[in-house]
Amino acid sequence: MTRALWFSVKVAVLVAIAWYLAEKQPGQVSLVWQGYRVDTSVGILLLAAGLVAVLVAILYRSWGGIKRTPGDIGRKLKANREKRGYRALTQGMVAVAAGEAVEAQRWARKADELLDAPPLTMLLSAQAAQLDGDDQAAKRYFTAMLERDETRFLGLRGLITQALRDGDEPAALEYARSAHTLKPNTPWVLETLFDLSEQAGDLEGAERAARDAAHGKLLPATEATRKHAVVLLERAYKSQRASDPAQTLKLVKQAHKAAPDLVPASVLLAELLVGSGRQGAAARMLEKAWAAAPHPALIAAYGPARPGKAGIEWLNQVGKLVAAAAKHPESLLALAEAALDAKLWGEARRHLGEAGEAGVTDRVCRLMARLEEAEHGDLDKAREWLMRAGEALPDPAWVCDSCGALAREWQPRCGACDAYDGLAWHTPPRVPLEAPVAGVVTQVSAEPAVLPAEPVEVLTNGEDAAPPAAGEAGPAPETAPAEPIPAPPVEEASKPEEARRATT
């Protein structure tokens, strides 16, 4: 609209100029051509020239429009074709996401026919083939993507996934290394390269991947540092099997420094230090390690670091070890066991009582049974504690945080689900009791999952109070219990025993 208006203005100006020249400046012009003579004014001549110019311009634009028409039609057809192609590509992606293999392949073929975009159509075709279970076709598509710079990385990712699905870890590792060369700072590449290198025994490659992830801040700092520490510990074990003590010591020191709460690293470092005659250094290291992660294995490693200690001397040494986490259940149990060895019954009872506040576990019950037998020779009470141990809270163990499986010893990977560094030392979940079956006494199935522990009272004369007979109310204690483990009524405590006898 604006262009037409502007054109009209220019024509009007030309007409005005021509009229002015014709009326105000009526000069004459004679034109002789091919025997013809034309006499006119200058204004008319200019007007005629302007009209001719306008006519030529109109003819030129019309001819240009006619020449462009085939191209415009072709571009319109191509745009419409691309529009339909991208619609087919979108529908194919939706079908892949929905898990509809047949639909995905149909839309992939249509997109390939309509679009001149091999990277997109090859990706859709490969995903459709994977969804349909045609692994060979998917591999062909992903391999073809390696020939283009813009699709090489995407093809490598698809080939890694395909190789892992086929169980071909060596091929997946090679593809991961190529992907790392193309894009070294991609988080999933480093994580895949770490896992595959570690599984293949290339611990140096796994360590490099963990170090790169830490330096590039591609993973949370704690996760990257932990992975680095665990792979260093693996390398230390490997060096130990190769009888290279110097390299083993160097690697395990690095692992312990990176993760002081990695108990196996602390234990191995203590063994190496003790073996080289550095018992004092081993003891100091274990005392710091206990503060980071109390664990029974540290107690076992602490003995050789403080040789010749027994009785009260050993109890004092254990007290020094656990001083940084004195109220931790593992610390209390370690002190109770050392007090039992030193025959300090009151100390052992006190520590067990404090440990019971956090929960009466199997280990608490067994130590109480040992205490009753050692202090008083009371085999009946010891037997009761042992019976309760089977129904007490489970002791902490190496539990996989991914699948919940238990392991006897720590290992880099879970033996059940293969999760890397998935084992953690904590209390495993308790399996609920099954519903009672016919013939089982009701009181047995109705008991709580954790039986309350028997009260242990320390009297002023050093003798334990005798329990009241079944069916009788016991006398009120004159002194407060020395430990906070709650006591069940005697009637309730006797019923489970009768029920067990009935079932057996």
Q: At what angle do helices 118-132 and 101-114 cross, to 10 degrees?
A: 160
SS3 (DSSP) at 313? helix
Domain coordinates in residue numbering, the chain: 2-82
Q: State the Cα–Cα distance between residues 411 and 236, nearest whole angstrom.
A: 13
Q: State the Cα–Cα distance between residues 132 and 126, nearest whole angstrom.
A: 10
pTM for the whole structure:
0.63
Structure tokens at 486: 């709650």
SS3 (DSSP) at 257? helix
Q: Tell me the chain's radius of gyration from C-alpha atoms.
A: 44
Structure tokens at 258: 């990176």
Pick the closest to residue 368 from 462, 463, 490, 456 (CA basis).
456
Question: To the nearest 5 percent, what fractions of the chain are helix, strand and coil?
Answer: 65, 5, 30
Specify the pLDDT at position 20. 66
SS3 (DSSP) at 321? helix
Q: State the Cα–Cα distance between residues 349 and 464, nearest whole angstrom.
A: 12
SS3 (DSSP) at 448? coil
Q: What is the DSSP string of 122-138?
A: HHHHHHHHHHHT-HHHH
Q: What is the DSSP string of 175-186?
A: HHHHHHHH-TT-
| β-strand partners of 393 | 361
Specify the pLDDT at position 497. 40
Q: Measuring CA to CA, how many Å separate 29 from each of 22, 41, 52, 280?
A: 11, 5, 18, 124
Residuewise pLDDT in 10s, the chain (504 residues): 677 777 777 777 767 766 666 565 556 767 777 777 777 766 676 677 777 877 888 888 788 778 777 776 777 766 676 677 667 767 766 766 666 667 766 766 776 666 665 666 666 677 777 677 777 888 887 888 888 787 788 889 889 988 998 889 999 999 999 999 988 888 889 999 999 999 898 999 998 888 888 888 888 888 888 999 999 999 999 999 999 999 999 999 999 999 999 999 999 999 999 999 999 999 999 999 999 999 999 999 999 999 988 899 999 999 999 999 999 999 999 999 999 999 999 999 999 999 999 889 999 999 999 999 999 899 999 999 999 988 889 999 999 998 889 999 999 999 899 888 899 998 887 655 443 333 332 233 333 333 333 433 333 333 343 444 433 444 433 333 334 444 333 333 333 343 333 333
Specify the pLDDT at position 54. 77
Q: Measuring CA to CA, how many Å separate 94 from each of 87, 121, 127, 400?
A: 11, 14, 11, 37
Q: State the Cα–Cα distance between residues 252 and 258, nearest whole angstrom.
A: 10
Which residue is listed with tokens 């009701």? 442
Pick the closest to residue 171 from 184, 181, 161 (CA basis).
161
Tally of residues, the chain: 504
* Counts for the chain of helices (H) and strands (E), in that order: 21, 5
